[in-house]
A = this chain, B = another copy of it.
């Protein structure tokens, strides 16, 4: 289910250009337009889900595939062994700005704690 005015649904559909990094039957990944690290990729489900808070029990495998895609991209980019951070922001306090669930993969530099 895509929503007509969802930015990420339009990116997945190719209606808005993106720097594609990875795709499979369930997931699409592209470079963040405002990168916070040498590599900063967003991994999104093709299925529109507003946020992690709106994910249902039936979405478990899909959520896991997003995480595994992040790990695979990190290996492809060559920084898996050095390390990386995966982040999901939910609603206002989390800093979510696009309401299509997305996983941030950040790599290529050390990350400090707390994570924001």
Interface residues of A (CB under 8 A from B): 36-37, 52-53, 55, 57, 59-65, 67-68, 70-71, 74-75, 79-96, 104, 106-116
User: Which residue of B is nearest A79, CB measured?
Assistant: B93
> Which residues in B have their C-beta under 8 angstroms from that of A85?
87-90, 93-95, 115-116
Q: Could you say how many copies of this chain the assembly holds?
A: 2
* A59 to B: closest C-beta gap in Å: 7
Residues A92 and B87 in contact, CB atoms below 8 Å apart = no
Complex: A87 Cα to B89 Cα, angstroms = 9
Residues A87 and B90 in contact, CB atoms below 8 Å apart = no
> Which residues in B have their C-beta under 8 angstroms from that of A115?
36, 85, 87, 104, 106, 111, 115-116
